[in-house]
Amino acid sequence: MSIIECRDLTKNFGKIRALNNLSFNIEENTITGLVGRNGAGKSTLLKIMAGYLQKTEGEIKVWGEDPFNNLQVSANMIFIDDNMPMPQTLSLIEILEWGSKFYKNWDMDIARGLLDYFSLAPGHFHSHLSRGLKSTFNVIVGIAARCPLTLLDEPTTGMDAAVRKDFYRALLKDYLKHPRTIIVSSHLLNEIQDILEEVLLIREGAKYLHMSISDLKEYGIGLLGKKEILEKIIEGEEVFHREELGKDTYYYVIRNTLKDQKVQEIKLAGVEIKPVTAEDLCVYLTAGKKGGIDSVFNGK
Amino acid sequence: MFSTGNSLLETVKKQYNFKLRLYMNLFISLVVVQVIAILFTAGGTGSYGTGTGNIYFYEKFYSSNIIIAFTLLWAFFAAVLLTTRDYRDMDFVFIGNRLSSNISNMGFLVTASLAGGFTAVLGGVLLRVILYYSLGPYNILSDYYFVSLGDLSRAVLATFLYLILACALGYFCGILVQLSKAFVVILPALFFGTLITVSAMEEAHLVDYVFNFIVEESSFTLFLVKVIFTAAILFGSSLLLSNRLEVRK
């Protein structure tokens, strides 16, 4: 069942088009990673889903209803990002207690346990926390709320590697125990891919692709070899990336539609085949200017 | 998992209780404002002296007007504060929509006005106590020194209603500013401009009329009705105007 349905969603901020005819569906009880460049429209999309921002055109339905100004949606949804306007006058434990008063599914044991695990003093105030600890507290609220729709907008901002690992694990464990629909936007796809089921890649406000993580990991294939040989092989194939690695060695990434026979041919031609990580693939797919960053320095 | 039946009333109640705790600093600032007002008043609000020959006398006037005035200002700015972006954003951390946020804000402001009414009137009593001990009872001449409980409760009620008006006005102005930053300039300009031009003109009747409509009402019931009506219009308009405002930008 689709929890979120989006058809030709467009959002303008004045003259800037943040979302451009975006269409997709999110199924119930899945973890979806929302991936894209900075400024691609991920936060905007999540905030529209949460009912904070209004759409300009198109249609967005959460549980079949418009999420803007919608109490039903608000009661079953929580949106966590790195600059949440948490109450300044309440201590951490008080914020958690009020969370439990608002949300019907709130799990206070988990909340307290996580607070203790990450060494957050219950009596401290949110504004006194470091950036990483603020993010940590915010995700504790997000996990403990157990909302059927949990939206996390770059929740790991500022977190150190150890905390990030713990966060992914905690999110996954609680998700498995109490299934819900989770959408996480993150730049660290390599880290988070192990807990994701689906990936939605946004490019310039529009959907670029929406597939399972396992499909995404095999979507592209990397070829390493001499330029002339590579140019022959990639004829007719969809090329995502070209790079010069060294003297006469080039690295190309193409769409993985190769049959076994072709793979054998490529190997015999002296070309090395490498898998492409989901993160690298997304970078290539959303690449902007041709020539890469080197062109800035070469021009001079 | 998906819970239905999240009624508006339930959400408003939760938000209202939350705000009573959350905005506690406003009550502290109320006390501070009134203490400052009392300190100002303790210096006297006016004086008059005259004499002839060998006899001179000097009168100093004290009034609890300043306490009420400061409290009115506090109420106005407290209401404006609630409409600012940070405070509106906070409403959406947990559960709420714009309607429930506005209603719970108004509920909070009514509660704050009641608290303000009590403390302002009792502040006047405190002033009398301070003067008793500082000036000595023989030096005090007043018709209104001893205030009956009936008078006190009427004063509290009247102050409460005036504070509600101040809150409603503040909330409305605050929402206007949220809709367009231009109002930060327009509203003070309108206010002071009206005061200046009207006082310069001979036709000061219009402002007087508006002012006296509220202030010079002798019938209490009618006053109550006027306040409720005006506050309803101001709060209602604020509600309608802010219902499509975006948050967490």
Q: Above 90 in pLDDT, residue B183? A: yes
Domain co-membership, A186 together with A257: no
Higher pLDDT, B105 or B147: B105
Percentage of chain A surpassing pLDDT 90? 74
Domain co-membership, A185 together with A283: no
Domain co-membership, A89 together with A205: yes
Domain co-membership, A173 together with A276: no
The amino acid occupying position B54 is: N
Domain co-membership, A187 together with A288: no
Domain co-membership, A148 together with A248: no
Domain co-membership, A172 together with A228: no
The predicted structure's pLDDT at residue A191? 92
**pLDDT tens column, A171-181:** 999 999 999 99
Interchain contact B203–A (C-beta under 8 A) = no
* β-pair type (A77-81, A149-153): parallel
Domain co-membership, A84 together with A17: yes
Residue A238: exposure state from Cβ atoms within 10 A (0-12, 13-18, ≥19): exposed
Domain co-membership, A101 together with A235: no
CATH number for the domain harbouring residue A283? 3.30.70
Mean pLDDT, range B134-161, rounded to an integer:
87
Task: Decide if B94 and A98 are in contact by the 8 Å CB cutoff.
Answer: yes
Nearest Cβ partner for A75 among B24, B95, B247: B95
Q: Above 60 in pLDDT, residue A300? A: no
The predicted structure's pLDDT at residue B54? 86
Percentage of chain A surpassing pLDDT 70? 99
**pLDDT tens column, B9-52:** 999 999 999 999 999 999 999 999 999 999 988 887 788 888 88
Domain co-membership, A19 together with A90: yes
Structural domain boundaries in chain B: 8-179+217-242
Domain co-membership, A7 together with A69: yes
**pLDDT tens column, A4-45:** 999 999 999 999 999 999 999 999 999 999 999 998 999 999
The predicted structure's pLDDT at residue B204? 63
Higher pLDDT, B142 or A86: A86
Last residue of a domain, one of A216, A242, A264: A216
The predicted structure's pLDDT at residue B51? 86
Which residues on A lie below 8 Å from B22 (Cβ)? 87, 89-90
Single pTM value for the model? 0.90
Task: Decide if A47 and B248 are in contact by the 8 Å CB cutoff.
Answer: yes
**pLDDT tens column, A139-167:** 999 999 999 999 999 999 999 999 999 99
Query: Who's near A4: CB < 8 A, 6+ residues apart?
Result: A24, A25, A26, A49, A60, A61, A62, A149, A181
What CA–CA distance (Å, rounded) separates B228 from A175? 50
Q: Above 90 in pLDDT, residue A49? A: yes
Question: What is the extent of the structural domain holding A273?
Answer: 219-297
Query: Who's near B4: CB < 8 A, 6+ residues apart?
Result: A72
Decide if B167 contacts B112 (C-beta within 8 A).
yes
CATH number for the domain harbouring residue A20? 3.40.50.300
CA dihedral sign of residues B12, B17, B18, B20: positive
Domain co-membership, A211 together with A223: no
The predicted structure's pLDDT at residue B96? 93
Q: How many domains does chain A contain in total?
A: 2
Q: Above 80 in pLDDT, residue A269? A: yes
User: Which residues between 7 and 66 in chain B have a beta carbon less than 8 angstroms from any beta carbon of chain A?
Assistant: 7-8, 11, 14, 17-18, 21-22, 24-25
Last residue of a domain, one of A216, A233, A251: A216
Nearest Cβ partner for A71 among B11, B24, B249: B11
The predicted structure's pLDDT at residue A289? 67
